[in-house]
Amino acid sequence: MYPATDAIIVIDVQNDFCPGGALAVAGGNEIVCGINALMGEFSTVVLTQDWHPAQHLSFADNHPGTAPFTLTDMPYGKQVLWPSHCVQGTKGADFHPALKTDAAQMVIRKGFRPEIDSYSAFYENDRSTPTGLEGYLRSRGVTAITLVGLATDFCVAYSALDAARLGFKVTVRRDLCRAIDLDGSLAAALGQMQAAGIDVT
């Protein structure tokens, strides 16, 4: 068992990010059993869940004439336009059916504001609108977090970098993550995490 000051955060293990989903990450389903086993070693378990309205401005479908995986400008900076995914109330937004969600004490839903995307478990993509996760972890006495889930180079990396910036000791279990790797995004994310002192193991 990990000490009570450690928490595990399971990032976006949802149907749309697994094979057959709208934004499938290769091998996304392969990590579920390992995550289930690891959750049992922590007294604080948090799940995150992408939870987009259908009209979300990060969806290419909502920008006529644009293609998925291209960039657009948002008030908070550059934004990848994604295929529509994890739409509220759809099967794609559900957790992978094999994920033991009963282990979690908290579920953080993110990306529900239509005008701003949210990769990190801690902040929206403006890097200033909080999700409330930091306060929850501090109230539980958590000082160290382990991150697993999907995808390594986006939601996991953004969460890890924010956690490190907030002063948590951060570990990313690469064996229990999978990446999208969009135009070198995995190498860039790994470099940023290592530079921030994150243990990518």
- Catalytic positions are 12, 110, 155
Q: What is the DSSP string of the chain?
A: ---TTEEEEEE--BGGGSTTSTTPPTTGGGGHHHHHHHHTT-SEEEEEEE-B-TT-TTBGGGSTT--TT-EEEETTEEEEPBPS-SBTTSGGGSBPTTS-GGG-SEEEEE--STTS---SSSB-TTS-SB-SHHHHHHHTT--EEEEEEE-IIIIIHHHHHHHHHTT-EEEEEEEEEE----SSHHHHHHHHHHHTT-EE-
Q: Tell me the C-alpha distance between 67 and 60, whole Å.
A: 6
